[in-house]
Amino acid sequence: MLLALAWKNIWRNKKRSLIILTAIALGLWAGLFSVSISIGVWEATINSTIDRNLSHIQIHKKEFKEEKLISNYIPNGNTIADEIRKDKRVKEVSGRVLIEGMASSPTSSSGVNIIGINPENEKEVTSISSYIQEGKFFETKKRNPVLIGKKLADKLGLKMGSKIVLTFQNIDTTLTFAAFRIAGIFKTESTNFDQSHLFVKKSDLYKTMESEPIISEIAIRLNSSDDLDSVYSKLKLDYSSLAVETWKQLAPELEFTYEMLILELEIFLGIILAALLFGITNTMLMSVMDRIREFGVLMAVGMKRVRVFFLILIETFVLSIFGGIIGMLLGGITVWYLSDKGIDLSIFAEGLNAYGMPTQMYPVLPLYFYFVLIVMIIITAIIAAIYPSIKTIKLMPAKAIRTY
């Protein structure tokens, strides 16, 4: 009975009820859309980082984590890579040679990270081949081809076909010099990555160093990120003598940023609902003041004050939930539409690239946030109903009946 009476009371003043419903719906829609954009940007940054070079899991010799020397390579690295490749959950494995060195051109020089790869394996593990702007991904018969970032090429004054000299420490700690020719120039979302990394063939490095095939890093790409924990646990157990790390451990700042982002977004939604709380409270207080005589009559004929209290509470609750559902539906539809179409942020490309963020963003809104929002709406409705309800039950029936 109270629910039916509350519903009728809400629509006694349709204009006032529609205004507060619209305010709740638009406020929540804007809040959810803002949240989805923030999470979408974060997920795009994570995926971009994994696709660009990080991969899902990496394996190194423990000493390599402390001192990144070419001599700290993984014992039997190629055998281990072949063993991991047999796991059906693994898409592909790339065994890399990592060397910190110097790149020199006729006009300048710069410190770089030299990454020796097998092009066929690397194509399946990362998306670096898709970032090529000039040239091709090692599709050349020229001796000692190298891929460099656009930013590094500009810094060293290089172009396609230019010669670049790489200087690095060999396994026996002697300095090695080798000339390479630019076969491709890539440009990723990260300016810092483009300025400090270049790719060469492992086979060319082995010839230059006069070394047997060695591997400094095993990068693993999974078929599904859902298998990350299970594959990591198995590799951690099988290769306990090596440093096995997921992308979360390799880039802990990204995981920390996500945790802080979620907290900030929850606070942001809380602030929106706190602002709406005053509007809801004001609407219900106006509704109560318009019906003082009515409440006086109800209490005079025997309605208990607790039932009057719950009547106001139910009216507030229904109004808030109804507006909240509309807002969540609008937000969900907007996110669903834009998650397929995406939002082009190319006009902010320069600023985004400085932080390694892509220019195409797809809003994402986890189901978790809908449940959090429902709880917040319920709490907001209860708080908003307290003052009008208390003011109502304090009325004296005889005095309230004489109010016009």
Question: In this predicted structure, what is the pLDDT of residue 116?
Answer: 92
The pLDDT tens digits for 208-247 are 888 888 999 999 999 988 899 999 999 999 999 999 999 8
CATH of segment(s) 75-215: 2.40.70
The pLDDT tens digits for 386-404 are 888 888 878 787 777 776 5
- 392 touches 288 (CB < 8 A): yes
Task: Provide DSSP, 54-118.
Answer: I-SEEEEEHHHHHS--TTSPPTTHHHHHHHHHTSTTEEEEEEEEEEEEEEE-SS-EEEEEEEEE-
Residues in Cβ contact with 308 at an 8 Å cutoff, skipping those fewer than 6 apart: 295, 298, 299, 389, 392, 393
Question: In this predicted structure, what is the pLDDT of residue 180?
Answer: 92
Is residue 355 over pLDDT 60? Answer: no
Average pLDDT over residues 243-262: 84
Rounded (5°) CA angle 380-384-387: 150
Query: What's the mean per-residue pLDDT of the chain?
Result: 85
Name the residue with tokens 């929850």: 266
Residue 356 pLDDT class (50, 70, 90 cuts): low
Question: In this predicted structure, what is the pLDDT of residue 367?
Answer: 84
C-beta neighbour count of 346 within 10 angstroms: 10
Question: In this predicted structure, what is the pLDDT of residue 347?
Answer: 67
State the angle between helix axes of 2-10 and 305-341 in degrees (0 to 180), rounded to the nearest 10. Answer: 60
Name the residue with tokens 């660009």: 52
Residue 302 pLDDT class (50, 70, 90 cuts): confident
Question: In this predicted structure, what is the pLDDT of residue 259?
Answer: 80
- Which part of the chain is CATH 2.40.70? 75-215
Q: What is the DSSP letter of 137?
A: S
Question: In this predicted structure, what is the pLDDT of residue 396?
Answer: 80
- 36 touches 363 (CB < 8 A): yes
The pLDDT tens digits for 6-62 are 778 777 878 888 888 888 888 889 888 888 888 888 877 787 788 888 899 999 999
Question: In this predicted structure, what is the pLDDT of residue 359?
Answer: 66
